[in-house]
Amino acid sequence: MTKPVVLVVMDGVGWTDKDNGNAVLHSYKPQIEELMTKWPHTAIKASGVAVGLPSDSDMGNSEVGHNALGCGQIYSQGAKLVNESIESGKIFDSKTWKESVDFVKEHNGKMHFMGLLSDGNVHSHINHLIALIKECKKEGVNEVRVHALLDGRDVDPTSALKYVDQLENVFKDLNDGTFRGCIASGGGRMVITMDRYESDWSMVEKGWHIHVMGDGPKYDSAADAINALRKEGDYTDQFLPGFVVAENGTPVGTIDDGDSVILFNFRGDRAIEISKAFDTKEGFTAFDRVKYPNVYYAGMLEYDGDLHIPAHFLVEPPHIEHTMSEYLVKKGVYSYACSETQKFGHVTYFWNGNRSEKFDEKLETWEEVKSDIIPFEKKPWMKATEITDLMVKAIESGKYQFIRCNYPNGDMVGHTGNYEATLIGVETVDLMLKRIMDACKKADCTLIVTADHGNSDEMWKKGKNPADPVVPVTSHSLAKVPFAIFNGPEGTEMKDGDFGLSNVAATVVKLLGFEKPEEWNEAIIK
């Protein structure tokens, strides 16, 4: 084995000269610039088919990005899996779909669909929802309700009405004397229901009250709610408070005994907590559910393969094998992973192929820095210093041959749409890189610096007309990401080629002096 390898993932830092509010381009980043000029470097793909998504117009995300980084291969992911299952009809032949429909019919109940209402294709896609609704009518389900979580993050910040109108038109065409479907509740994804990594269970509790109990501000329609709430607080979609649709003061779609509930999100991180709330019959302590109806609950996918959350799901997730962590454990390599709560699951669960548990308790060390519960634009440096403290300590210990971390700033602050705060977020990561580089130089470690997808490189877009103001962009970008090797073995040189995140694993093990498994894509270095 050669010297240890340290890998830093700068989450959401794309590498492009295109300047639509490019906070990476305009930030003060002497370390990144040194890495991308004076050391072996290139830019690699982090979106589209390179990470298992349907097409190159599909933005990458942290989950598929870390899957690819951690396993060295390309697997069909989320949206692509669901697309294939719907197109083949396999989803409607699944045991879970049949049981959910039968449960509703047997109990004369309602079919509820809960999830992110957009075509962002990161957590969900509205086309999947529409296909499920249409199949409900085809199979004789009489009552359908949708609990619409508003996006404004993976799509334009105030685009919710576009998707609400699209869904309402579908219901208008389907509704008749035997079938009734409508939107029953909603709210912004960063306010209700879609918390992740158990950082703020109160979001899930608020969602439970809105969706299950119909306990919240009541409006005649989802459109009325969105328009009224925007006027009250000038909210963008992701931060819109929760609301309930009611007729004559009565909620149109509480979740009751005998109903089925399907979470149509395909991405796991923000689906696990609400799934636990529905699936855990006894011993649930995260919040007081007040009302716990007897329902058939299912997810679009199994969101956690080790903990089997949820118990029922419509589409089999990618079965990821031959991960880097498993390979290094077999080689007896000690590894270390850390990040703050917002991305801790990405350098552990997603990195290990959607596996919650370690492959080896002795050889793998994971450390989490608890994230602050505060809007990221108000503290754009986040927990970068604390992550760096742990990383430097791990490097100096001499115990580990492979060390990895994720700095969330470029992604989490970039999602706020606040350009000035995002500049600070990117510059914070660059400042921390100086400490990592110094530690690697002193301990004679090889350092790889890359990213999992773009985001902070595209913070706004121009209006349709030249006189229109620029519009903030809160979604990921299609940019390639930087890839640089600092203090590598003498003669380290990049290959010519069109590489992506799935080529990083082979590069790591080559630097460690091993041969890559035959299942992996090739290394980026000669």
As a whole number of angstroms, the distance between CA 476 and CA 414 comes to 8
Question: How many C-beta neighbours within 10 Å does residue 173 have?
Answer: 9
Report the amino acid identity of residue 389: D
Strands 243-247 and 180-188: antiparallel
Of 434, 372, 333, 379, nearest to 30 (Cα)? 434
**CA-to-CA separations, 120 to 15, 37, 74, 87, 152, in angstroms, rounded:** 21, 34, 21, 19, 9
Of 477, 476, 479, 510, nearest to 493 (Cα)? 510
* Pair 502, 521: CB distance under 8 Å: yes
For 349-416, give the secondary structure using H, E and C.
HHCCCCCCCCCCCCCEEEEEECCCCCCHHHCCCCCHHHHHHHHHHHHHHCCCCEEEEEECHHHHCHHH
Query: Of residues 47, 62, 456, 475, which has the active-site annotation?
Result: 62
If 0-12 CB within 10 Å is exposed, 13-18 middle and 19+ buried, where does residue 289 land? Answer: middle
If you search the block for the tokens 């963008």, which residue do you land on?
236
Residue 414 token pair: 């970039």
Residue 450 C-alpha from the chain's centroid = 18
As a whole number of angstroms, the distance between CA 177 and CA 179 comes to 6
* 3 state DSSP class of 178: coil
**CA-to-CA separations, 65 to 97, 228, 244, 406, 518, in angstroms, rounded:** 29, 38, 36, 12, 21
**CA-to-CA separations, 354 to 3, 82, 357, 425, in angstroms, rounded:** 29, 17, 9, 28
| Count of positions (residues) in the chain | 526
Q: Residue 45: enclosing H or E segment and its boundaries?
A: none
If 0-12 CB within 10 Å is exposed, 13-18 middle and 19+ buried, where does residue 179 land? Answer: middle
Q: How close are the terminal C-alpha atoms of the chain, in Å?
A: 17
As a whole number of angstroms, the distance between CA 300 and CA 128 comes to 10
Report the amino acid identity of residue 436: I
The answer to whether residue 356 is catalytic is no
As a whole number of angstroms, the distance between CA 75 and CA 84 comes to 13
Give catalytic residues, as residue numbers. Answer: 62
